[in-house]
């Protein structure tokens, strides 16, 4: 058995964890909306057409925000097609996913659905084939109290109270040649700055997110981001980062070290943000919105991404296993460790499309990645402690020697609870972890949640829906106030302990 230690200090932290890092993403793509969250002809659905079972299992994820309506979809989307009487809404082709969009679910339905989930909307505007005028009209429709054309139209549609949307994405992945309306960074920066100025002029309470790079593999990575930030610095609050992890090579040792690359991406942005702030001689801070992240590589080509002009085709329906869940846990741990710069993060996506939930007409399936998200969202409260790890390493292929233990931690002063989020990357050896609080001892183990063990390729299926689920674990407290936990190989353990005096 391997042995590792985790040293923490309640005074040694990077600041409070922003709960918005546990947000989600819903796009008009495949069956994410139709047959996913919205299925009005299904007896499982409520009077609004929303799937009751989907809402029920989304509630425990406690998502503060849901980003909508895209994604690549938004860059050809006319939001006006999705409002008003449904029998008068036009169907249109969707350029991004070669599908037919019926527009039966639009802005008002999304806002009503958010209310049922107790989450806040995070809206993206079309800066690909549309621009400032359309973005400003959507903000007027959503946020102005009344007395103007679009706000009065919202009231006539049955929604007299403004929605008060606070977070606005200024386009999506505009650095990508695949994006409708893709332009060089200099031109996008002008579009984004113009839209932000007008939108903030109409509602000074909003926050805006400018498009960053679509991934570290982009040729313009960080150069694009620098140009955009330098141009838009004074009118934006966040820059977006996107990353999808893959294991095409089927090398689990390499894949389970994905946290190394996640950290590197965040640290790249932290350095860039500090650089631009210095160049601008600015007292203002701009933060990171990691608003698309997940594992995605199996359903990424051919018919899996081509809708063949069908309505609600089966697209991007990734099936997840244990190693995917452990990689997702490392994303969340990375966001916690970098709480000083990562303020928003959105799991992409939430239902059917690269999602923790799959539906069929008579029910749903929770995939492996559902469980780490639910556990982190429940237990990561307070300040993000800085973890100091001592322990063995293993060889992770091209990534070299990597620590067997990946760890993050939080401390909630109000409850006196420390939560340690631990991933054992080893596929062969169990890991004994000692968790020591340097500035005071632990007085009590409050809870232990575990996931893992067995084959990294284990996955939940309709026939066997509980192969990969979280369970209650155990940990001990020694006479010196040190917590000891034994982890499966590979596995996730979340240990909560009370801080003593």
What's the CATH number where 313 sits?
Answer: 3.20.20.80
Type and span of the H or E element at 331: helix 322-337
Same domain membership, residue 255 and residue 217: yes
Domain end residue (candidates: 379, 407, 425): 379
Longest alpha-carbon distance in the chain: 71
Same domain membership, residue 438 and residue 314: no
501 pLDDT above the threshold of 80? no
Q: If DSSP codes are grouped into helix, strand and coil, which group holds residue 200?
A: helix
Domain end residue (candidates: 359, 379, 399): 379
What number is the average pLDDT over the span 190-197?
98
Same domain membership, residue 420 and residue 371: no
285 pLDDT above the threshold of 80? yes
Label residues 217-238 b or e (16+ Cβ within 10 Å = b).
ebeebbebbbbbbebbbebbbb
- Which CATH number do you get for residue 460? 2.60.40.1180
**Shortest CA distance to 409 belongs to which of 435, 431, 444, 443?**
435
| DSSP alpha helix (H) spans, 71-172 | 107-117, 132-143, 149-156
* Token pair 């741990």 in the structure block, residue: 333
257 pLDDT above the threshold of 90? yes
Kindly state the percentage of the chain with pLDDT values over 90. Answer: 99
Its domain, for residue 281, covers 18-379
Catalytic residue positions, numbered: 173, 292
Compute how many other C-beta atoms are within 10 angstroms of the C-beta atom of residue 173.
24
What number is the average pLDDT over the span 386-406?
96
Same domain membership, residue 206 and residue 61: yes
Give the pLDDT band of residue 500 (cuts 50, 70, 90).
confident
Same domain membership, residue 164 and residue 62: yes
Domain end residue (candidates: 319, 347, 379): 379
Number of H helices, E strands in the chain: 10, 27
What number is the average pLDDT over the span 357-372?
98
Tokens of 238: 């966040």
Same domain membership, residue 400 and residue 296: no
Same domain membership, residue 420 and residue 353: no
Q: Considering Cα of 187, then 189, then 194, then 195, what sign does the dihedral take?
A: positive
Q: What is the mean pLDDT of the chain?
A: 97
Give helix 132-143 / helix 149-156 axis angle, nearest 10°.
50
Same domain membership, residue 443 and residue 334: no
Beta-strand relationship, 207-210 and 167-170? parallel
Q: If DSSP codes are grouped into helix, strand and coil, which group holds residue 10?
A: coil
Gap between the Cα atoms of 205 and 38, Å rounded: 31
| DSSP alpha helix (H) spans, 234-321 | 252-255, 258-279
Same domain membership, residue 407 and residue 431: yes
Instruction: Please report the pLDDT score of residue 1 as a whole number.
Output: 87
324-337 pLDDT, tens digit per residue, is 999 999 999 999 99
Strands (E), 84-228: 92-94, 99-101, 120-125, 167-170, 207-210
Per the structure, how many domains does the chain have?
Answer: 2
**Shortest CA distance to 386 belongs to which of 4, 19, 6?**
6
What number is the average pLDDT over the span 300-315?
94
1-48 pLDDT, tens digit per residue, is 899 999 999 999 999 999 999 999 999 999 999 999 999 999 999 999
Same domain membership, residue 303 and residue 250: yes
List of residues 6+ apart from 423 with CB closer than 8 A: 259, 326, 329, 330, 333, 405, 406, 407, 490, 491, 492
Same domain membership, residue 409 and residue 348: no
109-140 pLDDT, tens digit per residue, is 999 999 999 999 999 999 999 999 999 999 99
């Amino acid at each position: 058995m391997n042995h590792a230690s985790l040293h923490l200090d309640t005074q040694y932290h990077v600041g409070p964890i922003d709960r918005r890092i546990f947000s989600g993403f819903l796009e008009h793509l495949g069956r994410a909306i139709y047959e996913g969250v919205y299925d009005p002809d299904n007896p499982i659905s409520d009077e609004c057409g929303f799937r009751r079972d989907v809402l029920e299992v989304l509630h425990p994820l406690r998502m503060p925000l849901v980003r909508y309506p895209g994604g690549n979809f938004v860059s050809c989307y006319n939001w006006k097609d999705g409002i008003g009487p449904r029998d008068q809404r036009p169907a249109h082709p969707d350029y991004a996913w070669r599908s037919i969009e019926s527009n039966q679910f639009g802005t008002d339905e999304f806002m009503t659905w958010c209310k049922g989930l107790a989450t806040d909307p995070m809206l993206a505007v079309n800066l690909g084939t549309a621009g400032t005028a359309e973005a400003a009209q959507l903000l007027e429709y959503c946020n102005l109290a009344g007395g103007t054309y679009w706000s009065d139209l919202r009231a006539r549609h049955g929604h007299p109270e403004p929605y008060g949307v606070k977070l606005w994405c200024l386009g999506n992945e505009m650095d990508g040649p695949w994006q409708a309306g893709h332009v060089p960074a200099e031109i996008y920066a002008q579009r984004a700055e113009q839209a932000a100025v007008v939108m903030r002029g109409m509602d000074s309470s909003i926050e805006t997110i400018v498009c960053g790079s679509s991934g570290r593999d982009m040729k313009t990575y960080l150069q694009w981001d620098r140009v955009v930030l330098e141009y838009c610095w004074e009118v934006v609050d966040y820059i977006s980062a996107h990353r999808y992890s893959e294991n095409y090579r089927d090398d689990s040792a390499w894949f389970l070290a994905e946290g190394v690359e996640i950290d590197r991406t965040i640290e790249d942005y932290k350095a860039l943000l500090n650089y631009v702030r210095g160049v601008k001689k600015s007292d203002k801070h701009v933060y990171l919105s990691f608003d698309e992240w997940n594992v995605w590589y199996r359903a990424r080509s051919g018919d899996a991404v081509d809708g063949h002009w069908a309505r609600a085709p089966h697209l991007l329906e990734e099936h997840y296993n244990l190693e995917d869940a452990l990689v997702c846990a490392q994303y969340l741990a990375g966001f916690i460790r970098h709480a000083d710069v990562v303020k928003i993060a959105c799991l992409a996506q939430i239902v059917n499309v690269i999602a923790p939930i799959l539906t069929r007409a008579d029910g749903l399936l929770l995939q492996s990645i559902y469980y780490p998200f639910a556990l982190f969202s429940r237990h990561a409260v307070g300040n993000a402690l800085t973890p100091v790890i001592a322990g063995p390493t293993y060889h992770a292929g091209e990534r070299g020697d990597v620590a067997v233990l990946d760890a993050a931690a939080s401390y909630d002063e109000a409850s006196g609870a420390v939560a340690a989020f631990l991933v054992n990357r080893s596929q062969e050896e169990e890991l004994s972890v000692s968790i020591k609080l340097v500035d005071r001892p632990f007085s009590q183990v409050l809870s232990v949640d575990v996931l893992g063990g067995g084959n990294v390729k284990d996955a939940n299926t309709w026939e066997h829906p509980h192969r990969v689920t979280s369970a209650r674990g155990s940990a001990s407290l020694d006479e010196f106030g040190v917590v000891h936990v034994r982890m499966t190989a590979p596995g996730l353990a979340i240990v909560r302990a009370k801080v003593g005096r």
